[in-house]
Amino acid sequence: MVAEAMSLSMESLTRAYRGRRVFVTGHTGFKGTWLSTLLHDLGAEVCGFALAPNTSPNHFDVLGLTNAMHSVIGNVDDLDHLRGTMAEFAPEIVFHLAAQPLVRQSYHDPVETFRSNVLGATHLLEAVRQTDSIRSLVFITSDKAYENVEWVWGYRETDRLGGQDPYSASKGAAEIVYSSYERSFFAHRPDLACAVARAGNVIGGGDWSADRIIPDCVRAIEAGEPIRLRNPNATRPWQHVLEPLSGYVLLGERLLNAPGQGKGAWNFGPSTHEVRTVKDVADAIIAHLGSGQVKIEQTEGQPHEAQLLQLNCDKAHQFLNWRPRWGVDKTLEATARWYAEFIKGADMQAVTRAQIAEYFEGSA
């Protein structure tokens, strides 16, 4: 019997998460800060474990999250620290996001990428194995874990994993480690349910990472410089950061309350007609912020980056009742609005929380 799908609203999610002890790795990163804020607003008690933010400004400090959660600065490379922090907090639910998240950085430092994304993931799984309080694990990887042959239809959860660049390969490898732990250890724990979540490119306010299109656009516009695009015609399935995060929290709840229906791998991505080129995105940000210009810089010898990658999300649609709420135009408008407010010196904690409420309480 299939459990009734939970409504994707702040009210229903609050009922599911209020008072729950939730552990988030990578809480200082772009997705981690949005997820931690969302969980806090849902009434969860949140503990984060991550490296210190590596950009200035950064969303973690802008939101003042140190005062809203248990924040532990640490490296998933350090198993003893991770395991001890998790044991002391005794979480019921774990979301694993910690990773080296950049494709181009993986070419510059492949060893660190594999250490963070494979060994770090192994340490997380080992810490979960040794923590009896955990009932639900959402192990987050990436759409780039698929062996991408750049066909026009979306990848399903059963398609082959792989990866040409070090980042993509590290995500595929992390999933192999996860599968081993799931079958060797977690399958024998009836009190623990776990699943893999894969999502594509996310954008939204609060991202200042290098080599990402939105931060690059904002930095160039603020500096009065041209926006320089390496791959202007590359297409991406753009989605707001809240889209996959809404899927993650739905999945975490399902694993907790109907574990047999939440296990396996799950895709969270936008509709296929929401695909835009990199240049389309840059042009939209310029239009919303009111200034800027694009300069194409196609140089020889650039490392390989995928030109086309889409996900098939039928499984999440059918079994979690999850669907994307914001199209690409709304996503770009909300993202540009966030940065415009930041540039004006607005209260960004209030702006971020207002966008969370707008996403969950707006029309689906």
The per-residue pLDDT for range 42-74, each reduced to its tens digit, is 999 999 999 999 899 999 999 999 999 999 999
193 within some domain = yes
Tokens of residue 95, six digits: 């979301």
Residue 277: inside a domain: no
Length of the chain: 364
What is residue 115's predicted lDDT score, i.e. its pLDDT?
97
Beta carbons within 8 Å of 271's beta carbon, 6+ residues apart: 324, 327
Question: Is residue 314 in some structural domain?
Answer: yes
Amino acid at 40: H
pLDDT of residue 4: 55
Alpha carbon distance 99, 225 (integer Å): 31
Mind giving me the DSSP string for 10-48?
Answer: HHHHHHHHTT-EEEEETTTSHHHHHHHHHHHHTT-EEEE
Within 13 A of 130's CA, how many CA atoms are on the CB side?
A: 14
pLDDT the model gives residue 139: 98
| Total domains, the chain | 1
Q: CA 247, CA 224: separation in Å to the nearest integer?
A: 37
Q: Which domain holds residue 181?
A: 10-200+241-269+308-325
Residue 82 lies in a domain: yes
CA gap 101, 86 in Å, rounded: 23
Residue 1 pLDDT class (50, 70, 90 cuts): very low
Residue 92 belongs to some domain of the structure: yes
Q: Which pLDDT score, from 0 to 100, does residue 306 have?
A: 59
337 part of a folded domain: no
Q: Residue 150: pLDDT above 50?
A: yes
| Beta-bridge partners for 94 | 23, 137
pLDDT at 137 over 50: yes
Q: Do the domain assignments include residue 343? A: no
The pTM for the full model equals: 0.93
pLDDT at 230: 79
Lowest-pLDDT choice from 43-47, 79-83, 198-202, 332-336: 198-202
Give residue 360's pLDDT band: very low, low, confident or very high (50, 70, 90).
very high
SS3 70: strand
Residue with tokens 């081993």: 180
Q: Which backbone phi and psi does 107 adopt, to 5 degrees? A: -75, -35
Give the mean pLDDT of 193-217. 92
Alpha-carbon gap, residue 281 to 322, rounded angstroms:
25
Beta bridge partners of 199: 268
Digit-coded pLDDT (tens) for 103-130 = 889 999 999 999 999 999 999 999 999 9
Q: Assign residue 101 the CATH number of its domain.
A: 3.40.50.720
Mean pLDDT of 290-298: 75
- Amino acid occupying residue 151: W
The whole-angstrom separation of Cα 2 and Cα 142 is 27
As a whole number, the mean pLDDT across the chain is 91
* Average pLDDT of the residues in 148-165: 86
pLDDT > 70 fraction of the chain, expressed in percent and rounded: 94
Listed range (148-152, 199-203, 234-238, 354-358) with the worst mean pLDDT: 148-152
Residue 307 is predicted with a pLDDT of 58
Q: Is it the case that residue 254 has pLDDT exceeding 50?
A: yes
Query: 12: burial class by Cβ within 10 Å (0-12, 13-18, 19+)?
Result: middle
Least confident of 126-140, 145-159, 246-260, 293-307: 293-307
pLDDT at 300: 53
Residue 230 lies in a domain: no
pLDDT score at 361 = 86
